[in-house]
Structure 1
Amino acid sequence: MDQDKVASRTSLDPEKNVDASSVGSDQHVVNPELERTVWRKLDIWILPIVTLFYLLSFLDRTNIGNAKVAGMQKELKMTNQEYSIALTVTYVPYIVAELPSNLLLKIVGPNTMLPVMLTLWGVVTACQGTVKSYGGLLACRFFLGLLEGGVFPGLVLYLSFFYPRMRLQTRIAAFFSAASISGAFGGIMAYGIINLNGKHGHSGWQWIFIIEGVITVFIGLISFLLLPDSPDAARFFNAEEKAYVKATLKADGAISDEATDSFSWGEVWKAFTSIQVLLVGVIFFLSGVVLYSLAYFTPSIVVSLGYTAARAQLMSVPPFSVAFVVTMIAAYISDRYQCRGAVTVFASVLCTIGFAMFLGSTSHRVQYGSLFLSIPGTYLMAPAISTWNANNAAPHVRRATAIAIGFIMTNSGGILATWLLGSLSPAPRYTKATKILLIFSVFMGVFAALNIVYLQRENKKKAETRARSTRTEEPAGLGDKSAWFIYSL
C-alpha cells in the first residue's frame, strides 16, 4: 500500500476521548508537495541525530567485547565468570531505568533528557579506561547501565512524536542499523586504537574506552543545540509544515490531544495486560538473548576460529555491514507493504539457518559464513518488533509503557546472553549456547506467527463492528472507540 495513501486515512486512537459523532471529522487531506518536504526535512534534521545517539549507545555498551579481546580480561585478572558478572551488572540498572525514563521523557522534554543521558554515559565510558581493578570496572558498568537504560525505548518513542505509524519502521531501522554499524565501526576503531598500547601509561584496551567516551561526551554537548522537543519546536519547519505534520499524526492515531495523552496509571496497566504487547514481549526477550550474544561475543567467536586478536577485530566487520544493508531493505518492504510480522518471521528464519550452520559444521569457513545469516537476522529483528510494538499501542502513556516493556524484556534477555557464551558455554565450539540460540530463533518465528493470527482476528472483529454500526446507522465509536484503530500486521 502506498505510504501517501496510508497517511491520509483516519485511524483514531483507541482510547481517544472523542464523541461518537466526531468520528470521521478528523479527515486529513494529503498534500503531495508537503508530503515530500516534511518527511525529507525530518530525515535530514532528526534521523541523523537519533542514529548517532544509538550508535554511541550501542558502541559504548558493547565495546567491552573489543576491550576483552585487546587484553582487559587478562590485565584485570578476570575469570570468564567475572566477565559475565561485569556484563550482567550493566543490565540490572538498565532494566530498572527503562520504564520510568520513558514515562518521564515527555514531561522533562526529550531535547533535554536525551542529551543529558548521552553526555553523562560518555563520561562513565571514558572512566572505564582509567580503572585499575575489577571492582572499579563493576562500578562503571553499573552507572553506564543506569544512564543508558532509557535510550533505545526513548528514541523509539521520540520518533513516534514525529512520524506516522506506517513510516516508522524505516526510520527505526535506520537508527537501529547504527547498532550493526557500531559492530563494524567498533571493530575498525578497536583495531586502530589498540596500537596506542602503552601511550601515556594506558593499555590499548583502556584507550578504546577513553577515546570512544570522549567522542560521546562531545556529541552529547552539541546535541543540546540540535534536538527539537516536538514538531512545534522544530526550527526547520515553517508554520504550514508544522500544522501539516500534526494533522497527519493525529489522523494516523500516532498522537492525540493533551487530555488524552496525560498520564494515567490505568493506561500503564492496560499496556501490561495487552495480549499483543505480551506476545511481542516474548519475542523481545528471545531476540535480546540472540542480539547481545552476538554483540558481545562476535570478536571472541572469530578468535575461536583461529584468527589473531587484532585480525578478529577486522573480521567481525563484514557480517555487521551486511546486517545494515539487509535491515534497511527489509524495513522499506515492511513500511511499503505494512508487513511487520512477516519481516519478523523472515528474521527468525535467517537466525535459525545461521545457528544451524554454526552448530552442524566443523569448518571454520562455514562457521564464519554462518555469521552472515545470524547477525543480519537478529539486527533485522529488533527494528521490526520495535515498530510493531509502537504501532499497536496508544494513547501516549500506553505506547510509552509498551515500548518500555519491550526493551525491559530485551535487556532481560541480555542478562542471559552475558552468561551463554561466557562461563556457561566455553570456546571454541560454544555448543550449548548455539543450541539455545537456535531454539530461541525458532520460537521467535512461532510467537510472531501467533501474534499475526491474533491481530488478524482482532481486526476482523473491528471490521464487523464497523459494518454493523453502518447498517444500523450508529457510529461504532459510541460503544467501542477502539473499533476505528486498525492493528498493524
Structure 2
Amino acid sequence: MSESLSSVDRKSEDVHKPTMASSDLDVAAQLTAGKEVEVNPAMAARVRRKIDLHLMPLMCILYMMQFADKTTLGQSAILGIMPGAHINQDQFNWLGTIFYLFFLAFEYPQNLALQYFPVGKWMSINIFVWAVALLCHAAASSFGGLFACRAFLGICEGAITPGFMIVTSMFYTRQEQSQRTGYWFLMNGTAIIVLGLVAYGTLHIKTGSFMPWQWLMIITGIITLVVSVLFWFFFPDSPATAYFLTPEERVIAVERIKVNQAGVENKHWKKDQFIECLTDPKTWLFFFIAAISNVTNSLSNQRQIIVAGFGFNALQTTLLGCVDGAVEIIVIFCTVTSATYWKNGRAYSGSLAYCVAILGSILVNVLPSSTKVGLLFCYWISITQIAPFVVMLAWVGAVTAGHTKRVTTNAVVMIGYAVGNAAGPQYWKKRYQPRNHIPWAILSACWFVSMVLLLVTRLYLARENAKREKEGHDSTYDDVYISSDANGEKAVKVDKAFLDLTDIQNRDFRYVL
C-alpha cells in the first residue's frame, strides 16, 4: 500500500472527506473525477469502434514487421547468409541466442521507460532504431557485425510486446483483450507469408555480389523505417490523451473499462507494487509458462532448415513457408476466439492447442523419412503451439492491476520469454539433422509442461476468487476523494476502480479464468 493511500485510510475516521494527491492516482481518476457520465451500450460500442479503427491497423502493421524483421535471420538461412557473412551453423544458432540475451538484459529498463515516458512515442523511437539495425545487417560480413546488429534488435524488441500489452489493457475491457491481443499477434502468421513471398522474390534478383539475404534485410528495413514514422505521428499514448477522441469520448473510453478494476495508467513508480509483484505466486507461474513454452519458439528460425531437411529444395521451402503463416493465423484466431467466448476457458483453450501440437511433434518423430509430405503436414500441426502463448499474454493483463505491478509483471513474463528463446537455438545441433529427433522430443516435453502450468494457474486463480467471494464486499476504499482546486478545499469522489490499486489490494477484484 502506498504511503498516501495508507494515510487516507488511517485518517478516514477523523476526516469527513479524505483526500489524496492526484499524482498517486490513476490518470483515469484525474480525468473522470467529479464527472457524472452515463455510458450506455451504444455509446460504448461507438467509442470502441473508433478505438479499433485507429489502434488495430497500426498495431497489426507494426507487429507484422517486427516479427518479419526478427525472423529474417531464419529466412536468410536458405538465402545464403552463412556463406555470405562467413558464419557456420553454430554461429548462426548463437545469433538467435544473442538477440534474446540482449532482450533479457534490457527488458526491465524498457518496461520502466514505458511507465515514465509516453508509450507510443517510446515505442516509435525503438522501432526507428530497430529499422536502422536491420538495414545494417546487409553490410555485415562477419559474425561480429551480425552480433552487433542482433544485439540492437534484442534491446529494441523489449519495448514492443510489453508496450502492446499495456496499450491493450488501457483501451479494452478484459472480455475484449484476448481477441485484440490475438488480432495483433496473428500478424506473426501474416509476416511469415509476406516474408516468404519477399524472400522468393529476392531469389530472382541478380545483382552480382549483392546476395538475396541482403536484399531481404534492405526491403524489410525500409518498410519498418516508414512504420516508425507513422507510429510517432498517429499512435496514441493513452485514452486520456488520444487525439482521435473528443474530450467526452475520452471519458467514455475510460468509464468503459472501469469493469477491469485495473485503471489505465500511472507515471509514478511504486515500490510496494513492485514488491507485491515479485511475491505474487501467479507472477512466477506466468514466468515459467513463458520461459518453458518459448524454449520451443526456436522453430521460427529453424523452420526453413527443418522443411529443407524433409527433402524440399530452396524454392519449394521458401514458398511452403507461406503455408506456415496461414496455419499460424488460423490456429491463433480459433484459439483466442475460443478463449473469449468459452466461459472461463482461457486455460482450457490453450491446453487444447498444446495437445494438438504435441500430437504433431510426436508424428514428426515417428514417421519414416520417405513420407516427406506427411512429415510436412505433421510439422504444420505442431504450429498450434504458438496460440497458447497469445492467450497467456492477454491473461496476464486481465488478472493484474496496479500500473507499476502491471509493468513489472509484463517485464517478468517477457524475461521468461527471453530466457526460453535464448536457450531454444542451442539444441538444434548439426549432428541431429535432418530429422532432429532429439529437438522434437524436447519440444513435446516443453509443451506438455506448459499445458500443466496453464491448468495449475487456473486452479490457483479460481481458489483465490472463491476465497474473496467468502470475504464479501471490501469497503476500504469506497470513499476516497481528490482535491479539485489549488487550495485543496473542494474535493470530489474518485471511483475505486481508478485508485491505482493492485489486484491484491482491491479485494473486490475477481480474476478471469
Superposition TM-score, scaled by structure 1 size: 0.89
Q: CA deviation at 1:197?
A: 4.1
The answer to whether the aligner puts 1:128 opposite 2:137 as a matched pair is yes
Whole-Å separation in 1 of the counterparts to 2:5 and 2:216: 49
Pick from 295, 313, 329: which aligns with 1:324?
A: 329
Residue of structure 2 equivalent to 1:459 = 465
Pick from 367, 373, 379: which aligns with 1:365?
A: 373
Whole-Å separation in 2 of the counterparts to 1:475 and 1:232: 27
Pick from 339, 355, 363: which aligns with 2:361?
A: 355
Unaligned runs of 5+ in 2: 18-31, 479-503
- The answer to whether the 8 Å contact 1:348/1:445 transfers is yes
Residue of structure 2 equivalent to 1:306 = 311
The answer to whether the aligner puts 1:34 opposite 2:58 as a matched pair is no
Residue of structure 2 equivalent to 1:55 = 64
Question: CA distance change for structure 1 residues 163 and 256 in 2, over 3 Å: closer, same or farther?
Answer: closer
Equivalent residue runs for 1:251-330 within 5 Å: 251-255=259-263, 258=266, 262-291=268-297, 293-330=298-335
Count residues in correspondence. 460
- The answer to whether the 8 Å contact 1:28/1:248 transfers is no
Unaligned runs of 5+ in 1: 1-14
The answer to whether the aligner puts 1:410 opposite 2:413 as a matched pair is no
- The answer to whether the 8 Å contact 1:83/1:422 transfers is no
Opposite residue 247 of structure 1, the aligned amino acid is E
Pick from 218, 222, 241: which aligns with 1:214?
A: 222
Cα deviations across residues 361-417 of structure 1 (Å, max 9, x unaligned)? 122222111122211x22212210101111111101101111111111111111111
Opposite residue 414 of structure 1, the aligned amino acid is N
Cα RMSD after superposing both structures: 2.4
Q: CA deviation at 1:326?
A: 2.2
Q: Which has the higher helix share?
A: 1
Residue of structure 2 equivalent to 1:486 = 510
Residue of structure 2 equivalent to 1:334 = 339
Q: CA deviation at 1:30?
A: 4.7
Residue of structure 2 equivalent to 1:230 = 238
Q: CA deviation at 1:317?
A: 1.4
Residue of structure 2 equivalent to 1:386 = 393
Whole-Å separation in 2 of the counterparts to 1:333 and 1:165: 15
- The answer to whether the 8 Å contact 2:162/2:410 transfers is yes
- The answer to whether the 8 Å contact 1:340/1:387 transfers is no
Pick from 433, 436, 441: which aligns with 1:435?
A: 441
Pick from 251, 267, 292: which aligns with 1:243?
A: 251
Q: CA deviation at 1:257?
A: 7.5
Whole-Å separation in 2 of the counterparts to 1:312 and 1:45: 36
Q: Which moved more, 1:65-74 or 1:236-245?
A: 236-245
Whole-Å separation in 2 of the counterparts to 1:150 and 1:95: 12
Residue of structure 2 equivalent to 1:7 = none
Whole-Å separation in 1 of the counterparts to 2:337 and 2:59: 18
- The answer to whether the 8 Å contact 2:111/2:158 transfers is no
Question: CA distance change for structure 1 residues 79 and 426 in 2, over 3 Å: closer, same or farther?
Answer: farther
Residue of structure 2 equivalent to 1:146 = 155
Whole-Å separation in 2 of the counterparts to 1:318 and 1:219: 25
Whole-Å separation in 2 of the counterparts to 1:54 and 1:265: 32
Q: CA deviation at 1:137?
A: 1.1
Whole-Å separation in 2 of the counterparts to 1:152 and 1:173: 12
Q: CA deviation at 1:266?
A: 2.3
Q: Which moved more, 1:249-258 or 1:115-124?
A: 249-258
Cα deviations across residues 430-463 of structure 1 (Å, max 9, x unaligned)? 1110000000111111111111111111111010
Cα deviations across residues 58-117 of structure 1 (Å, max 9, x unaligned)? 111111111111111122332211111122111111112221111211321112111111
Counterpart of 2:240 in 1: which secondary structure? helix
Equivalent residue runs for 1:152-191 within 5 Å: 152-191=161-200
After superposing on structure 2, the runs of 4+ consecutive aligned residues of structure 1 that deviate more than 3 Å are: 15-22, 25-30, 474-478
